[in-house]
Amino acid sequence: MSADSLPTRITIYPDPRLRRVCAPVEEFNERTAALAQRMLELMREGNGVGLAGPQAGICRRIFVANPTGEPGDDHVYINPELFDLTGSVEAEEGCLSLPDIRVNVRRARVCRIRAQDVDGKFFEQKAEGLLARIWQHETDHLDGRLIIDRMDSTDKIANRKKIAQLEADYAKHAKKSAKARR
């Protein structure tokens, strides 16, 4: 992947790439490091705390996270596996791929993650609170799940117009792109 092919923007719902189960990252090289860096930039540009591969248009098992916004707290997780999920807490979540949509989601309060860094080195961490929530949210993305899949009936009603608008905007953009290719 050259610098030219790095993601330029966040993928917005209902782009079908957001629904794909991602393949593992198999190569750990300069391109992987550049992708992780670009994903961190996109996450910051969107004022987010996490961003997964599909949100950058890349169907690979990689996500970035930063729960504080401080540059020293940037983290890259490649081929992550969550385990030891304990407790339960409900909180409101948003998503950079679903602008202006907020959903109450029940997640594990505490969890552990096993992943690889940009050099392919394995590591494990334990988190609770916001960081544990970010890990679970971004791992959902890697498995083709979105927060709208976790909506209760109240959230569905509250967000139906926003979701319909995202779908209409996507269809309009897809139609324009198809015309431009002719």
- 19 vs 22: CA distance, rounded Å: 9
Catalytic residue flag (residue 138): yes
- 16 vs 127: CA distance, rounded Å: 31
CA distances from 83 to 64, 112, 175 (A): 18, 5, 42
For tokens 């971004």, name the residue: 138
For residues 126 and 110, the answer to whether their CB atoms sit within 8 Å is yes
Strand extents, DSSP E, the chain: 50-52, 62-65, 75-86, 89-95, 98-107, 110-116, 122-128
Select which of 30, 92, 138, 167 is catalytic: 138
For residues 14 and 46, the answer to whether their CB atoms sit within 8 Å is no
Active site residues: 138
